[in-house]
């Protein structure tokens, strides 16, 4: 059955990964060969099935693998590196969950048929969406760590997030959702440039434009980006810029159950990639009490359950933290919380498998999380804009820290990641 499924998906896999018929068939036959043995092993400890294989997924793999949990990785992107971790017992190439949702879900069902029930960890926006929309098919097969579509839509589509923030009094940037060029032009007459064009669904926007958002400086640029987004059938928001450097951006990480936070962790961005608009490349664990109440409020407004990472930015004009986004999945700096004694993937695993919910009450402060390849690359690229002194740049490396990818006890993901970035750099230089 699984071999037939692999042949049915052959064209998709070849297109996405340029793998051969033999590689696909061998992969599926391998699943058949090890399934009986593996089911004996997982009777002792349920496996974790991690969906995606990038930095966020690698954090979850190491967090669970270090606790003895057998990990199966289902991945679909050429940039992935988590599947070569020593903690991954079996890795399976899948169709992309956004492009081929039905086939992706079919493959998950086949994985369950071979390996038995496990804990399903969607660790990318596209896998979170695919699982949420197919929860009726999956909820009896797996212990699913992410919520249903009714809840997922509230954080995946940012327009609903900001509507809830407004309704429940969570401070957020001034935001509108245009439906025409006329709306954009009318907004331009009221805004102080620069402002932001942000997607309602970040993962779809990033897939198309390779950026999380666009800062714009005038009306013509604003209209142009809106039109490009509309042509791609992507809904966007127009939003004021919250002034401040990367260090003004903070995270409220929490595990919620029955409407209550059972574990909480806060951190501060030190450097983002790219600066001012990007995702973190250096983060610091820190006690930030000001974001606890608004963080709890927006999560409770969503009726959310499970793990979430909520991002705020401190507005230098009034000193108030404004809501940026809610991520209903494990985040880039997952390993920072783990290093600080708050292992969220393990907390979630113990809760769902053993019904045990007794997490640590506190976490270690002043620990850095560093994504070396991105930190070095963006520091070189933006050295004239960021203006860090050498001491400021090196400080996170000199203080207690944990790396996003580099771990000498699990070195293969770092090598794979670095090799991929090196090849991409060569392509860029020589325009291959």
Q: The domain spanning residue 30 has which CATH number?
A: 3.40.50.720
**136 & 226 share domain:** no
Domain that holds residue 88: 2-146
Residue 122 neighbours by CB under 8 Å, 6+ apart: 51, 52, 128, 130, 131, 144, 145, 146, 329
Return the minimum-mean-pLDDT range out of 11-15, 63-67, 232-236, 340-344.
Answer: 11-15
**How many Cα atoms sit within 13 Å of 356 on the Cβ side?**
9
Rounded to an integer, the average pLDDT of 141-152 is: 97
Distance CA 394, CA 406 (A): 17
Last residue within a domain, chosen from 216, 238, 260: 238
Query: In whole angstroms, what is the distance from residue 378 CA to residue 396 CA?
Result: 15
Across the range 236-240, mean pLDDT stands at: 90
Confirm whether 168 is domain-assigned. no
SS3 content of the chain, % helix, strand, coil (to 5): 45, 20, 35
> Is 367 a domain residue?
yes
Mean pLDDT of 234-249: 92
User: Percentage of the chain surpassing pLDDT 70?
Assistant: 89
Whether 135 and 182 map to the same domain: the answer is: no
> Last residue of some domain: 214, 238, 262?
238
Write down the pTM of the prediction: 0.86
pLDDT at 201 over 90: no
| 13 pLDDT more than 60 | no
pLDDT recorded at residue 211: 84
Whether the pLDDT of residue 9 is over 90: the answer is no
| Residue 54 located in a structural domain | yes
Q: Which of 183, 210, 238 is the last residue of a domain?
A: 238
Angle between the N-to-C axes of helices 158-168 and 149-156, in degrees from 0 to 180, rounded to the nearest 10 = 90
Check pLDDT > 60 for residue 12. Answer: no
81 found inside a domain: yes
pLDDT given for residue 15 in this prediction: 43
Q: Are residues 398 and 291 in the same domain?
A: yes
Statement: residue 432 has pLDDT above 90:
no
Whole-angstrom distance, CA of residue 140 vs CA of residue 144: 9
Q: Mean pLDDT check: name the lowest of 9-18, 219-228, 272-281.
A: 9-18
Q: Tell me what pLDDT residue 35 has.
A: 52
- Whichever domain contains 277, its CATH number is 3.30.470.20
Q: Of 38, 89, 93, 28, which is closest to residue 61 (Cα–Cα)?
A: 89
Same domain for 229 and 358, yes or no, is no
For residue 21, pLDDT over 70 is answered with no
How many structural domains comprise the chain?
Answer: 3
Same structural domain, 412 and 270? yes
Q: How far apart are the first and last CA of the chain?
A: 41
Q: Are residues 92 and 45 in the same domain?
A: yes
Q: Tell me: do 289 and 192 sit in the same domain.
A: no
Where is mean pLDDT largest: 41-50, 80-89, 215-224? 80-89
pLDDT range class, residue 407, cuts 50, 70, 90:
very high
In a domain, 210, yes or no: yes
CB 97 within 8 A of CB 76: yes
Q: How many C-beta neighbours within 10 Å does residue 142 have?
A: 22
Cα dihedral 184→185→190→193 (10° resolution)? 80
Indicate if 193 and 251 belong to the same structural domain: no
- Residue 6 predicted with pLDDT over 50: no
Report whether the peptide linkage leading into residue 274 is cis, meaning its omega lies within 30 degrees of zero: yes
Res. 323: pLDDT tops 60: yes
- State the burial class of residue 408 (Cβ atoms within 10 Å of its Cβ: 0-12, 13-18, 19+): exposed
The CATH code of the domain that includes 195 is 3.30.1490
Would you state the structure tokens that stand for residue 283, as one six-digit string? 């983060």
- pLDDT(396) > 70: yes
Contacts of 262 (CB under 8 A, 6+ apart): 255, 256, 347, 357, 359
Whether 218 and 313 map to the same domain: the answer is no
Residue 243 has pLDDT above 70, yes or no: yes
Q: What is the mean pLDDT of the chain?
A: 89
The whole-number pLDDT of residue 277 equals 83
What is the structure's pLDDT at 171? 97
State the Cα–Cα distance between residues 370 and 398, nearest whole angstrom.
11
3-class DSSP state of 309: strand
* Residue 151 is assigned to a structural domain of this protein: no
Which residues have CB under 8 Å from 401's CB, separation 6+? 367, 368, 369, 370
| pLDDT above 90: percentage of residues in the chain | 74
Helix (H) / strand (E) containing 71: strand 71-75
Q: In 3-state terms, what secondary structure has residue 128?
A: helix
Q: For residue 313, tell me if it sits in a domain.
A: yes
**68 has a pLDDT exceeding 90:** yes
Q: Both 36 and 93 in a single domain?
A: yes
The answer to whether 204 touches 234, Cβ cutoff 8 Å, is yes
- The predicted pLDDT at position 209 comes to 86
Measured CA angle at 327 (ends 258, 98), to 5 deg: 115
Q: What is the mean pLDDT of residues 22-28?
A: 45
Residue 65 has pLDDT above 80, yes or no: yes
Please report whether residue 416 resides in a domain: yes
Could you tell me if 400 and 267 lie in one domain?
yes
Same domain, 84 and 20: yes
Separation in Å, CA 71 to CA 28, 84, 88, 289: 17, 12, 5, 35
Residue 60: which of 371, 335, 339 has the closest Cα?
Answer: 335
């Amino acid at each position: 059955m699984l071999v037939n499924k692999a042949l049915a998906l052959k064209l998709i896999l070849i297109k996405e990964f340029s793998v051969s018929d033999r590689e696909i068939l061998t992969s599926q036959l391998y699943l058949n060969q090890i399934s009986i043995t593996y089911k004996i092993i997982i009777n002792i400890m349920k496996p974790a099935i991690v969906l995606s294989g990038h930095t966020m997924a690698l954090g979850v793999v190491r967090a669970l693998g270090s606790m003895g949990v057998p990990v199966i990785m289902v991945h679909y992107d050429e940039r992935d590196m988590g599947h070569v971790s020593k903690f991954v017992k079996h890795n399976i190439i899948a169709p992309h969950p956004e492009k081929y949702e039905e086939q992706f879900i079919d493959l998950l069902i086949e994985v369950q048929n071979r390996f038995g029930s496990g804990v399903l960890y969607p660790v990318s926006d596209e896998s979170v969406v695919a699982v949420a929309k197919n929860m009726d098919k999956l909820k009896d097969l797996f212990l699913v760590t992410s919520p249903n579509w009714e809840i997922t839509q509230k954080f995946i589509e940012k327009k609903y997030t900001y509507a809830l923030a407004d309704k429940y009094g969570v401070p957020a940037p001034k935001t509108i959702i245009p439906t025409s060029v006329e709306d954009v032009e009318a907004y331009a007459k009221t805004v102080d440039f620069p402002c932001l064009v942000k997607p309602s669904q970040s993962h779809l926007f990033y897939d198309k434009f390779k950026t999380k958002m666009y800062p714009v400086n005038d009306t013509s640029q604003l209209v142009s980006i809106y039109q490009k987004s509309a042509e791609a059938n992507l809904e966007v928001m127009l939003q004021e810029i919250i002034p401040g450097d990367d260090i003004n951006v903070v995270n409220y990480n929490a595990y919620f159950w029955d409407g209550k936070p059972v574990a909480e962790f806060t951190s501060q961005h030190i450097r983002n990639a790219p600066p001012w608009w990007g995702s973190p490349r250096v983060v610091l664990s820190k006690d930030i009490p000001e974001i606890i109440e608004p963080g709890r409020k927006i999560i409770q407004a969503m009726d959310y359950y499970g793990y979430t990472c909520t991002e705020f930015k401190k507005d230098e004009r009034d000193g108030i933290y404004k809501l940026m986004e809610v991520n209903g999945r494990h985040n880039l700096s997952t390993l920072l919380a783990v290093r600080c004694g708050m292992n969220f993937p393990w907390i979630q695993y113990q809760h769902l498998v053993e019904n045990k919910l007794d997490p640590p009450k506190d976490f270690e402060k002043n620990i850095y999380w560093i994504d070396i390849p991105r930190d070095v690359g963006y520091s070189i690229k933006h050295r004239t804009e960021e203006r860090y002194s050498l001491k400021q740049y090196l400080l996170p490396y000199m203080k207690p820290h944990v790396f996003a990818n580099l771990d000498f006890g699990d070195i293969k993901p770092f090598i794979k990641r670095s090799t991929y970035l090196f090849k991409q750099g060569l392509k860029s230089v020589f325009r291959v």
